[in-house]
Amino acid sequence: MTESISKPSKRRGRIFPERTLSPEELARSKAEREAFRRRCRAIFERVRPELIDKYYGWYIAVEPDSGDYFIDRDLEVASQKARDKHPNATHCVFCLNESGTTGSI
């Protein structure tokens, strides 16, 4: 007859528990992202009416600190133009359409 051997259950938890962020840090990070998105969206909304007729469906990469924006048919090219001009800055990409969204669900 064989005896069944019970295995101890594996402990579950974070892989890197030392990298856990406090709720305050998470809230601060979320607020910074939202402020960045609002600044980018304001620039996009300002230039969209003059660009939408000629460049409908193209992509626009916005760098909010300088107010620069870069337009191209290809998402990657527009993003690369922004990185070339502002290599250490973060930018946001929109599509030149009614909503500014770049994809669909």
pLDDT value, residue 28: 96
Instruction: Spell out the per-residue pLDDT of the chain, length 105, in tens.
Output: 567 777 777 767 777 777 888 889 999 999 999 999 999 999 999 999 999 999 999 999 999 999 999 999 999 999 999 999 999 999 999 999 888 777 655
Is residue 32 in a domain?
yes
Token pair of 58, please? 């193209």
CB 71 within 8 A of CB 59: yes
Is residue 28 in a domain?
yes
Is residue 37 in a domain?
yes
What's the pTM? 0.74
Angle at 49 between CA 46 and CA 104, to 5 degrees: 95
Is residue 18 in a domain?
no
Q: How many domains does the chain have?
A: 1
pLDDT value, residue 1: 59
Is residue 61 in a domain?
yes
Domain that holds residue 81: 24-95
pLDDT value, residue 99: 80
In degrees rounded to 5, what are phi and psi of residue 94? Answer: -125, 165
Using alpha carbons, select from 102, 57, 64 the residue that is nearest to residue 86: 64
Is residue 105 in a domain?
no
